[in-house]
Structure 1
Amino acid sequence: MRNRYGCWTAMGLFACLTATPACAEALESSIPEENAPFRIAAPQTLAGIAPEHWDLDDIARAERGAATEARLAALPQEAQPAPAAYGPPAPPSPSDPAAAPSITDGPPPRDANGHVPREFSTHRGFFRQTGAVGTELALLSAYVGAQSIPKLFKPTTGFHFKDEGWFGKDTHNIGVDKLTHAYNTYLIAELLHYRIHRNTGGSEGDALTAGILAAGLMAINEISDAIEPDSGYSMQDVTMNIAGAAFSVLRNTVPGLKEKVAFKLEIIPNGNIYSHVGKKHYEQQRFMFSLKGAGFEGLERSPLKYLDLQVGYYASDFLNSDRDRGITPKRHLFVGVGLNLGELLFAKSGSRIGRAAYSVLDYLQVPYTSLRYDTTGRFGN
């Protein structure tokens, strides 16, 4: 497409140039004498000016007249009018820094999310940006792989798929495990984006690179489930992994979204305070999207900046012991208002610890700092 437009431009310029008197005269002089009948006719004389002297300066003199020319000749040289010329003024010389500023002077431009456009980026493309976080990827791969090692010491089977369902009451964990997949992938994508953004100077596309790496890492990790007899490679899990990574990409590319919306996890203590694995682990979890008052300019001088509007989900009564007693599992879709402790305690902190705490609290909701109402009629935390 670009070559086609370039061809039309060249043809247009050629047509314009050949229409000028100077070009016509040059073409005429270039034709051999024996081809004289095919010469271009010389232009007619204008105001007594010979064709061989056709230029704008001569036309201007003819129009001014002899008397005016005599007065102009008496002026000092620096006061003489500048000779006219065809076409636009010549561009400033590149050798003059003041006249021809370089686009590379100063810091590169950045968008609202702090990303440098591709033409100014130091790391263009997926593979160059991936190379900027080789150490981080190695550490994450080692951590994810370590989670799968215990499975190798248990009975295994061949690779197989399994339909685990979504949020139905007949599923093992009533969908909480699916939100766990989305949240874990989201966290990995956020971490990788932070490191890529820092290591590449904010090169454009770093959020997408981070999202692809996070979703790919979690998809590989899913293989360990595919060799368990009572589990399998779940496409529902993979879909939720992609959803979590996609939200990270949106949050880091859509202007203002990161300041306004957060994907958070709250862990409610149980009798063991914290259960690392199993159904009890899932029962402790509350997942929510928080609309942050601090992200809206109209609320920056209001106490509402310290509050978040929450929409979330959790499940209860789905332990094996609950099912054995005939208790029906419950799904809780809730709305509520939560306290944004990060904004309240660390928004103005200048210390490294304070900034780190502010970042952590953008992903975690502290227990018992919210009031909610859910679909089971429960009001409270």
Structure 2
Amino acid sequence: MKRLILVESGVYAASIIGLSYIWYDSDNRQSFHFYNDNKQWLQIDKMGHAYTAYHVSSLNAKLFQNAGLSKEKAYLWAGISSSTMMLTIEVFDGLSPDYGASWGDALANSIGAFLPYQELLCGKAYIHPKYSFSPSPFSELRPNVLGENYSEQWLKDYNGQTYWLSTNLNIFSKNNIFPDFLAFSLGYGGDRMVYGDPDENEMNGYDSYRQYYLSLDIDFSSFNTDKKWLKVLYYALNLIKIPLPTLEYNKFGWKFHPIYF
């Protein structure tokens, strides 16, 4: 356990130091301040915060259990440690003239960090947050904000991001009539967001709108194996939504995608 704490502390410290010098301008700091960004990007950025915090917490819970902590303590400390890790970013935002600490981000972080508690309360994880991305044409209009290339766009271009909540289909069946790996997934995204603020976006001629998705998915956590490399592979695959036929609803009506990612 001590070794795990030392390793995680070292990685965390190195990440924070690197982030403070690379992402933020250390020579242009301001006094700590808040900024209300809850209207921006149709809240898709908040989905990203919750998604990241969930998977950091879920991984930490597994590492803590492997290090010898009881399941109850592992999930408790995973939630606390993951919330703390994400909160540090809000502190940096609060000191930056280009950003500001956001209570909406902090709330999303906490929800994501403690969502793995479902496994402790219910005996298994019924809800799996997932992510998918397809490049959008809007990044070309503001590459400095939405990303200059694919390696930046998957993180910055909210037009191409979709966040999902997947659950095993047998949750709706008393007799487990569906295959264990088959899942049902609800997705959320947005389009035509060149500017984060919806009023500014509209003033510049872009009418942003929300997108809701319904699709099937694959739950890789249902596959049992004793091989460590396969466990790692299944865990990684369960981070993303598998491309499958999808039904979309937006302000224009319904749309069917033979394959959507």
Q: State the TM-score bracket (shorter-chain normalisation).
A: 0.7 to 0.9
Deviates more, 1:202-211 or 1:266-275: 266-275
Query: Equivalent residue of 1:265, what SS?
Result: strand
Structure 2 partner of 1:327: 206
In the alignment, is the contact (CA less than 8 A) between 1:316 and 1:330 conserved in 2? yes
Query: Equivalent residue of 1:357, what SS?
Result: helix
Matched, 1:251 2:123: no
Matched, 1:207 2:79: no
Matched, 1:261 2:134: no
Decide which structure has greater strand share.
2
Distance 1:287 1:278 in 2: 12
Deviation at 1:360, TM superposition (A): 1.6
In the alignment, is the contact (CA less than 8 A) between 1:349 and 1:355 conserved in 2? yes
Distance 2:175 2:249 in 1: 27
Distance 1:257 1:156 in 2: 44
| RMSD of aligned residue pairs (Cα, Å) | 3.1
Deviation at 1:325, TM superposition (A): 4.9
In the alignment, is the contact (CA less than 8 A) between 2:29 and 2:97 conserved in 1? yes
Distance 2:228 2:149 in 1: 29
Matched, 1:138 2:17: no
Query: Equivalent residue of 2:130, what SS?
Result: strand
Structure 1 partner of 2:144: none
Matched, 1:236 2:125: no
Distance 1:180 1:283 in 2: 13
**Residues 141-160 of structure 1: pairs in structure 2 closer than 5 A:** 141-150=13-22, 151-152=24-25, 155-160=28-33
Structure 2, unaligned runs of 5 or more: 138-147
Structure 2 partner of 1:35: none
In the alignment, is the contact (CA less than 8 A) between 1:211 and 1:245 conserved in 2? yes
Deviation at 1:204, TM superposition (A): 3.1
Structure 2 partner of 1:116: none
- Residue 340 of structure 1 is aligned with which of 211, 218, 243? 218
Matched, 1:360 2:232: no
**Residues 32-111 of structure 1: pairs in structure 2 closer than 5 A:** none
Higher radius of gyration, 1 or 2: 1
In the alignment, is the contact (CA less than 8 A) between 1:307 and 1:337 conserved in 2? no
Distance 2:17 2:59 in 1: 18
Distance 1:141 1:284 in 2: 31
Change (3 A) 1:192 1:159: same
Change (3 A) 1:191 1:276: same
- Residue 290 of structure 1 is aligned with which of 149, 162, 166? 166
- Residue 281 of structure 1 is aligned with which of 154, 157, 167? 157
Distance 2:216 2:76 in 1: 30
Distance 2:169 2:210 in 1: 28
Structure 1, unaligned runs of 5 or more: 1-128
Query: Equivalent residue of 2:93, what SS?
Result: helix
Deviation at 1:327, TM superposition (A): 1.7
Deviation at 1:240, TM superposition (A): 0.8
Distance 2:187 2:229 in 1: 29
**Residues 366-377 of structure 1: pairs in structure 2 closer than 5 A:** 366=242, 368-376=243-251, 377=253
Structure 1 partner of 2:141: none
Structure 2 partner of 1:318: 193
What letter is aligned with 1:222?
E
What letter is aligned with 1:327?
Y
Distance 1:329 1:154 in 2: 35
User: What CA deviation, in whole Å up to 9, does each residue of 1:175-234 have, x standing for no partner?
Assistant: 111111111111111121111111025353210111011101211221111122231111
What letter is aligned with 1:209?
W
Query: Equivalent residue of 1:231, what SS?
Result: coil
Deviation at 1:164, TM superposition (A): 1.3
Matched, 1:176 2:44: yes
Distance 2:170 2:232 in 1: 18
Higher RCO (C-alpha under 8 Å, 6+ residues apart): 2
- Residue 36 of structure 2 is aligned with which of 143, 163, 182? 163
Percent identity, aligned pairs only, is 20
Deviation at 1:287, TM superposition (A): 0.8
